Amino acid sequence: KTVEEFAKKLRCEGLMIVDDNTLIISIQLIFSLQKV
């Protein structure tokens, strides 16, 4: 899945209600933490 698809999934599920910039930063942080 791409980051955009992940963002859309979260938004559709109502798990994250934030602006796009914050959402992208949050997702990048999540992915970077998973790589460690």
Q: Residue 21 corresponds to which tokens in the numbers above?
A: 């910039």
Q: How many CB atoms lie within 10 A of CB 23?
A: 19
Is this prediction's pTM over 0.75?
no
From residue 5, alpha-carbon distances to 8, 21, 24, 30, 36 in Å are 5, 15, 11, 15, 22
Provide DSSP, the chain: --HHHHHHHHHHHTS--S-HHHHHHHHHHHHHHHH-
Query: What's residue 36's pLDDT?
Result: 65
> Which pLDDT tens digit goes with each residue over 1-36?
687 787 777 766 665 556 677 777 888 888 888 876
**From CA 4, how far away is CA 9, in angstroms rounded?**
9
